[in-house]
């Protein structure tokens, strides 16, 4: 299945897209021949325990999972499978938290942390590795990011090659029509956050551009 | 290292009152011209009355100019121990609650809603969010305006 692993709804301070708008747009993408099975809402510096998108997911036939994108001292980090114990240990609003502590805490509390857009100039993980920082617990990074500027995905690609990291893909959508621009292809079905963590641990996935996620009928 | 975001947190619990601000027909007409609004209920008293209003109606975003007349407190912001320098306006959201009409006298009640830090390509930024509720002379809430200001470290 194909999941957009990085998106922001109006629950984030800088997005104007509602979840329903995203799901409607995915309907448009499907009519164009693309395969987009689900999205992960990775809201900035928070986790929405109180939000339930199951009715919308059922109505539009799209898997909707919840995660977080946290600001850390060494760049942004996507967190999948967020649990209450994790939110008790980690202050999600702390933009100066040590990325390494977050990576460890996530695994200790059944979640999984993935550095976002590592090739981003000025803030990506690449910058800090070049400065001599080490991140022993990083195994997966966001290799394809739909919000990247020219050269940034290439830097992420190079980082993966040099460090042996695996990669996922996500749109980083803040606007409706950006959803699904980058995706992650999994060999198994995923319908819960816990299953997503298991799928990441299995290390069987690959990042893809939307143009490569087609059903072979009417793709763009 | 924890983020040290220091500011006057007591402002969260304080309501800053301002007004009354008189709403005039000429203000509404000028605002409507400024946003290229042509619906006659916003410009023509007779058309507004024909639609059941006692005077011309202010467009839904009218309070964006009223909120500029509200003086907001300095929150004495410091980030990691250092005062944060000059800021800039970072956006507004208006929730229209009830019609505002010429002849109304609005009062404003503002409180500090949120202060948070975020990081991006250009470094660390701190957002300061104020929320102002406008009421008319009858005490009816007519609009909520949320304003954000951003400062850089």
Its domain, for residue A200, covers: 2-212
Tell me whether A94 touches chain B (CB under 8 Å).
Answer: yes
Domain count, chain A: 1
Predicted confidence at residue A26, as pLDDT, reads 98
B118/A13 touch (CB, cutoff 8 Å), yes or no? yes
Which residue in A45, A91, A123 is closest to B121 by CB distance? A123
- Give per-residue pLDDT as tens, B108-129: 999 999 999 999 888 889 999 9
Asked, for residue A118, whether it belongs to a domain, the answer is: yes
Predicted confidence at residue A218, as pLDDT, reads 44
The pLDDT-based confidence of A216 (bands split at 50, 70, 90) is low
Task: Say yes or no to pLDDT of B81 above 90.
Answer: no
Which residue in B80, B118, B121 is closest to A122 by CB distance? B121
Asked, for residue A62, whether it belongs to a domain, the answer is: yes
**B123/chain A closest Cα distance in angstroms:** 8
Average pLDDT over residues B47-74: 94
Domain ranges of chain B: 5-23+60-152
Task: Say yes or no to pLDDT of A149 above 90.
Answer: yes
| Cα A172 to Cα A182: distance, rounded to the nearest angstrom | 8
Predicted confidence at residue B3, as pLDDT, reads 58
| Cα A180 to Cα A9: distance, rounded to the nearest angstrom | 13
| Range in A57-66, A204-213, B76-85, B129-138 the model is least confident about | B76-85
Predicted confidence at residue A219, as pLDDT, reads 40
Asked, for residue A218, whether it belongs to a domain, the answer is: no
Predicted confidence at residue A217, as pLDDT, reads 53
Q: Which of B91, B120, B127 to mutate to test the interface with A (most CBs of A within 10 A)?
A: B120
- Give contacts of A91 with chain B, Cβ < 8 Å: 2
**What is the strand order of the sheet A206-209 is part of?**
A112-115, A75-80, A63-72, A38-44, A2-7, A182-185, A206-209
- Give per-residue pLDDT as tens, A28-75: 999 999 999 999 999 999 999 999 999 999 999 999 999 999 999 999
A95/B124 touch (CB, cutoff 8 Å), yes or no? yes
Predicted confidence at residue A71, as pLDDT, reads 97
- Give contacts of B120 with chain A, Cβ < 8 Å: 123
The pLDDT-based confidence of B83 (bands split at 50, 70, 90) is confident
Which residue in B3, B116, B121 is closest to A120 by CB distance? B121
In whole angstroms, how large is the CA radius of gyration of chain B? 18
CATH number at residue A197: 3.20.20.140
| Cα A12 to Cα A93: distance, rounded to the nearest angstrom | 12
Asked, for residue A220, whether it belongs to a domain, the answer is: no
Can you give the pTM of this predicted structure?
0.88
| Cα B112 to Cα B101: distance, rounded to the nearest angstrom | 28
For B76, residues 6+ apart whose C-beta sits below 8 A from its C-beta are B6, B7, B8
Task: Say yes or no to pLDDT of B65 above 50.
Answer: yes
| Residue of chain A with shortest Cα separation from B115 | A93
| Cα B146 to Cα B92: distance, rounded to the nearest angstrom | 5
- Looking at domain B5-23+60-152, does it have CATH number 2.60.40.10? no
Predicted confidence at residue A220, as pLDDT, reads 41
Which residue in B1, B120, B122 is closest to A96 by CB distance? B1
Give the DSSP letter string of chain A. Answer: -EEEEEE--TTSTT----HHHHHHHHHHHHHTTB---EEEEEEET---TT---HHHHHHHT-EEEEEEEEEETTEEEEEES--HHHHHHS-TT-TT--HHHHHHHHHHTT-EEEESSTT-TTTSHHHHHHTT---TT--EEEEEETTPPTTHHHHHHHHHHHHT-EEEEE--BSSGGGTTSEEEE-SS---SHHHHHHHHHHT--EEEEGGG-B-SSS--
| Residue of chain B with shortest Cα separation from A121 | B121
Asked, for residue A168, whether it belongs to a domain, the answer is: yes
Which residues in chain A (6-45) have CB-CB distances under 8 A to chain B?
13, 44-45
B121/A121 touch (CB, cutoff 8 Å), yes or no? yes
Task: Say yes or no to pLDDT of A10 above 50.
Answer: yes
Asked, for residue A185, whether it belongs to a domain, the answer is: yes
Q: What percent of chain A has pLDDT over 90?
A: 96
């Amino acid at each position: 299945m194909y999941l957009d692993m990085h998106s922001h709804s109006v629950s984030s301070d800088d997005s104007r897209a509602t979840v329903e708008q995203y799901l409607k747009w995915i309907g448009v993408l499907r009519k164009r021949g693309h395969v987009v099975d689900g999205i992960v809402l990775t809201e900035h510096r928070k986790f929405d325990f109180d939000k339930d998108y199951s009715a919308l997911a059922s109505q539009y036939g799209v898997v909707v999972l919840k995660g977080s994108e946290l600001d850390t001292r060494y760049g942004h980090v996507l967190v999948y499978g967020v649990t209450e114990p994790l939110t008790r240990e980690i202050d999600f609003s702390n933009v100066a938290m040590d990325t390494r502590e977050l990576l460890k805490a996530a695994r200790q509390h059944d979640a999984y942390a993935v550095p976002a857009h590592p090739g981003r100039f000025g803030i990506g993980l690449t910058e800090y590795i070049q400065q001599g920082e080490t991140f022993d617990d990083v195994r997966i990074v966001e290799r394809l990011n739909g919000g990247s500027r020219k050269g940034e995905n290439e830097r992420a690609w190079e980082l993966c090659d040099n460090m042996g990291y695996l990669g996922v893909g996500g749109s980083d959508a803040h606007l409706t029509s950006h959803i699904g621009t980058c995706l992650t292809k999994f060999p198994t079905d995923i319908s819960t956050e816990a299953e997503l963590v298991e799928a990441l641990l299995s290390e069987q996935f690959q990042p893809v551009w939307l143009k490569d996620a087609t059903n072979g009928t009417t793709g763009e | 290292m924890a983020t040290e975001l220091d500011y006057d947190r007591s402002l969260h619990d304080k309501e800053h009152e301002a007004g009354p601000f008189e709403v005039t027909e000429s203000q509404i007409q000028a605002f409507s011209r400024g946003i290229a609004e042509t619906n006659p209920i916003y410009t023509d008293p007779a058309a507004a009355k024909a639609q059941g209003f006692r005077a011309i109606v202010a467009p839904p975003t009218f309070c964006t100019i009223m909120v500029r007349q509200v003086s907001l407190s300095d929150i004495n912001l410091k980030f990691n121990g250092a005062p944060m320098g000059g800021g800039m306006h970072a956006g507004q959201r208006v929730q229209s609650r009830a019609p505002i009409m010429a002849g109304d006298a609005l009062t404003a009640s503002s409180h500090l809603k949120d202060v948070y830090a975020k990081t991006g390509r250009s470094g660390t930024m701190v957002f300061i969010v104020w929320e102002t509720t406008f009421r008319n002379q009858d005490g009816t809430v007519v609009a909520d305006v949320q304003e954000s200001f951003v400062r850089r470290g």
